[in-house]
Amino acid sequence: MYLMIQKNEPTTTPLPPYPTGAPVMVSPEYDDVQDIIMDLWDYCMLLEDEYHRTGNQGTLFRFAIAIMTVQYWEDVLMNMEGIDVFEFYF
């Protein structure tokens, strides 16, 4: 299915504003994108070990998804540092 988006039409809805004067009830899980990447790599290593022990295809599928998630967050980090990953690699 082909979706046409007008040039000036927003593709996502804006986030609701934080209430003024109200205390923030939730603190962020991570302080840095690099911490997310390191935790994901640790998770990937656990999945890899589990796959080698069991040979379970479901574990292999979760491993592949986790690797793609790492790549996403590494791309986020590179873009935050001002590096265009696609131009750099291709």
Q: What is the pTM of this model?
A: 0.63
Residue 50, number of CB atoms within 10 A of its CB: 16
Phi-psi label, residue 82: left if phi above 0, alpha if psi -120 to 50, beta otherwise: left
Nearest to 73 by CA among 47, 50, 39, 45: 39
> Using one digit for the tens of pLDDT, what is the confidence trace for 14-68?
556 666 666 666 777 888 889 999 999 999 999 999 999 999 999 999 999 999 9
> Using one digit for the tens of pLDDT, what is the confidence trace for 67-87?
999 999 998 888 877 766 566
Q: How far apart are the first and last CA of the chain?
A: 28
